[in-house]
Structure 1
Amino acid sequence: MFAIVTIAGQQFKVEQDQEIFVHKINAEAGDSVSFDEVHLITDGDDTSVGAPLLDSASVGATVVEHIKGDKVIVFKKKRRKGYKVKNGHRQHFTKIKIDSISA
């Protein structure tokens, strides 16, 4: 059984007991969260597709931890002008574990 759900503005294909990294969610580690924007649920041969969302379908998850991603270096340069700028960025992520998928 899997579902396609929108979490923090991005769509994910999730299965029960799966751990995924999503953009930061405002919840503490150990909290339970529910996502109601479910687009598709399939269970073997039985598939339900929303137009665009399924009514009364939800995905339950537990927040495992908040972490930062790897550093991304942003380097800008204009040749022959002496212009160089170097910046770094680390994205904040939340690791969640999918507990239940209900239709």
Structure 2
Amino acid sequence: MFAVVRTGGKQYRVAAGDKIAVEKLAGEAGDTITLGDVLLAGEGESLADAGSVTVSAEIIAQAKSEKVIVFKKRRRHNYRRKNGHRQEMTLLRITAVGAAEAKPAKKAAAKKTKSEAPAEAAATAE
């Protein structure tokens, strides 16, 4: 299954096992993150509902990209400026692309049962 995700103002086509370099994201090497902005998803020729698809990734490293040289010159004015810039980036390994799991719903159900349990205990105590 593949998905098109948006992060850092760019779009990436990803599948499980892919490695991509994106704009810097919060986290350390080894952390697992979820890329939430899924634009398109599918498998082969068929497309899936992008709203129900989640993409999880593992941070491989926080690094800097290659240096970009910025050179400014104005002819006949003896004006030359040379500067360099290295953009920070995050290296990701896509671990899973698939349907959203029902874990939040289970947590919500567990919270409800915890709040109902004291009410039931109070009712039986009376």
Q: How high is the TM-score relative to the length of structure 1?
A: 0.88
- 1:44 maps to a residue whose letter is G
Aligned residues: 99
Q: 1:61 matched to which residue of 2? A: 57
Aligned counterparts of 2:45 and 2:23: Cα–Cα separation in 1: 32
Q: Which residue of 2 aligns with 1:99?
A: 95
Q: Which residue of 1 aligns with 2:19?
A: 19
Opposite residue 78 of structure 2, the aligned amino acid is: G
Point out the structure with the larger helix share. Answer: 2
Across the aligned residues of Structure 1 and Structure 2, the Cα RMSD in angstroms comes to: 1.3
TM-score normalised by structure 2 residue count: 0.73
1:86 aligns with 2:61: no
Equivalent residue number for residue 46 of structure 1: 46
Higher normalized strand content (fraction of residues):
1
The answer to whether structure 1 residue 70 and structure 2 residue 66 are counterparts is yes
Q: Supply the distance in 1 between the matched residues of 2:89 and 2:45 (Cα, whole angstroms).
A: 34
1:69 and 1:27 map into 2 onto residues whose CA distance is 17
| Superposed displacement of residue 44, structure 1 | 2.5
Using CA pairs below 8 Å that are at least 6 residues apart, which structure has the higher relative contact order?
Answer: 1
Aligned to 2:31: 31
How big is the shift at 1:102? 1.6
Task: Please tell me whether Structure 1 or Structure 2 has the larger radius of gyration of its CA atoms.
Answer: 2
Rounded Cα–Cα distance in structure 2 between residues aligned with 1:47 and 1:39: 11
Distance across 1 between alignment mates of 2:42 and 2:53: 12
Give the SS at the match of 2:52: coil
**Unaligned stretches of 5+ residues in structure 1:** none
User: Which blocks of at least 5 consecutive residues in structure 2 are unaligned?
Assistant: 100-126
Moved over 4 A (4+): none
